[in-house]
Amino acid sequence: MGDMDRRCRDCDACCVVVAVEEIAKPEQERCPHQGKHGKPGCAIYDERPTSCREWRCGWLEGFGTSKDRPDKGGIILDSTLTIGGPTVQAREVWAGAFHMPRARIAIEGFARQVAVVLMYRDGGRKLIGPPHIVARMIQAAHDGTAAAGGGFVPNCKHDKTLSQCRPCMEQGLAKQGRTNQ
């Protein structure tokens, strides 16, 4: 497969890690339509939900090489716009994938420029990135101006969302001087 040929083919990593609201499939759970009849892919592909039809991972959008396809590289990258600005969401396809050299280099590269939400296979989350962006996102979550559950605690020893880890959020805000930098 050449790097210019960006099609899912046998990769169906998103069928496990990405939530699908229309069929009440939570993130990090295998889709009930995935891999039916011993074949990879979606058993209802032609009738798949709109969110599946419209969603595209970073690899399909041009990030990386064939080695970075999610089923080979172990991470799914996509971007979104948050209160902190452009944000990369990095989802682990298998436990420990964030520690693989290619994944670590990619994540660290993005985190020098924008906020990166690490979404671990076990459901844990962590926010990393430039301190002024992280502080703005924490402050927005604290003030209630971020979407519910949309804020994350940087370097939280519990890897929990703000709503689950108020002590770490307050400690993080105190370290940041409770202001946007």
Q: Give the global pTM.
A: 0.73
Q: Calculate mean pLDDT across residues 162-175.
A: 47
Residue 156 pLDDT more than 50?
Answer: no
141 Cβ contact partners less than 8 Å away, ≥ 6 residues apart: 150, 151, 152, 162, 169
Predicted confidence (pLDDT) per residue in 78-121, tens digit: 988 777 778 899 999 999 999 999 999 999 999 999 999 999 99
Q: Calculate mean pLDDT across residues 59-88.
A: 89
25 Cβ contact partners less than 8 Å away, ≥ 6 residues apart: 19, 31, 32
Residue 173 pLDDT more than 70?
Answer: no
Residue 162 pLDDT more than 80?
Answer: no
Phi, psi of 88 (to 5 degrees): -95, 130
Residue 69 pLDDT more than 50?
Answer: yes
Give me the chain's average pLDDT, please: 78
Residue 5 pLDDT more than 50?
Answer: yes
> Closest Cα to residue 75, out of 86, 84, 67, 87?
67
76 within 8 A of 138, measured Cβ to Cβ: no
Predicted confidence (pLDDT) per residue in 27-56, tens digit: 889 899 887 766 777 888 889 999 888 889
Q: Calculate mean pLDDT across residues 168-176.
A: 47
Per the model's pLDDT, the better-predicted residue between 181 and 10 turns out to be: 10
Q: Calculate mean pLDDT across residues 129-145.
A: 80
Tokens standing for residue 165: 């880890």
